[in-house]
Copies of this chain bind each other. A is one copy, B any other.
Amino acid sequence: MNKLLIVGTVAFDAIETPFGKTDKILGGAATYIGLSASHFNVKSGIVSVVGEDFPQEYLDLLTAKNIDISGIEIVKGGKTFFWSGKYHNDLNSRDTLATELNVLADFNPVVPQDFKNADVVMLGNLHPLVQSSVLNQMTTTPKLVVLDTMNFWMDCALPELLDIIKRIDVITINDEEARQLSGEYSLVKAAAKIHTMGPKYVVIKKGEHGALLFHNEKVFFAPALPLEEVFDPTGAGDTFAGGFSGYIAQSENISFDNMKNGIIHGSNLASFCVEKFGTERMETLQKEEVQERLKQFKALTQFDIELS
């Protein structure tokens, strides 16, 4: 079985949307990535850090999804990373109410021996130096390295971010971040500029407006599934990245055509994530539901025009 190494936060989130609010619940980029990638036939492991306050049941939940948690360090007496946010009425924007780094402040990632030869590495949103450190520990060159990041690191650690971006194959960022990173408003031009920074593949996430995959002159687009209600967008981008990297790891095929499928799988899984608060929907999601919705994606996008 192919191996997928996931790096990212495992955290507490407190979320408020127009539909309600939660106390501290399970969150974090690596959590969402792992839950999403668990829908593929891969051996995945998370590198992260939590405090002693992190419930064993959350760790058990990951283990039950066949996610290797030996790379999740538990800091004695430490407190787990906590994020709190409130979404605006359109759910397209949010205010961060609290960010408590806690044990994340001194995180020194250690890749378990068994994952140093992972086939695919998914570097979830974290400090670029942490992402670099993980890549430095690999003993074999991964078939594909995917990086997710955000505007925060462009503001606070741009040189380090540019360093790691040079070393990866696929970058996934949202539209505003692509504009910030490239200085180009047009997403076509932004992708072209980001190509020159290193990544051969640029994925631009547009939330409810879908995602674009750029590779040189080629472009592919996957819509978000039109839903009656988006309940909570938290983790949708990470779920997308988990579906993409999980599928690629399983299929061992890094052609552009296969990456298209990865984008569809990512969008498909993300469409479930937003249906309930936090990880709730992903925890119970069944294989049959995933397959059924893939059919909806086909119906949504496939057409048959004869070309002359």
By a beta-carbon cutoff of 8 Å, the part of chain A in contact with chain B is: 89-90, 185-189, 206, 209-210, 212, 218-221, 223, 226-230, 257, 260-261, 264-265, 291, 294-295, 298-305, 307-308
Given known contacts A218-B299, A260-B303, A264-B305, A227 and B294 CB-to-CB distance under 8 angstroms: no
Q: Would you call B212 and A209 a contact (CB within 8 A)?
A: no
A226 to chain B: closest residue by CB: B188
Answer whether A301 and B227 are a contact pair too, CB < 8 Å, given A291-B307, A291-B308. no
CB pair A226–B220 under 8 Å, yes or no, is no
CA distance A89 to B185 in the complex (A): 10
Bound complex: CA A32 to CA B220 (Å) = 28
Measured between beta carbons, the chain B residues less than 8 angstroms from A303 are 220, 257, 260-261, 264, 301
Using Cβ atoms and an 8 Å threshold, which residues of chain B touch A302? 301-302
Contact A228-B261, Cβ < 8 Å, known A220-B303, A301-B301, A307-B294: no
Q: Chain B residues with Cβ under 8 A from A228's Cβ?
A: 186, 188-189
A298 to B260, CA, bound (A): 13
Residue pair A300, B226 in contact (C-beta under 8 Å) = no
Q: Is the CB of A305 within 8 A of B221?
A: no
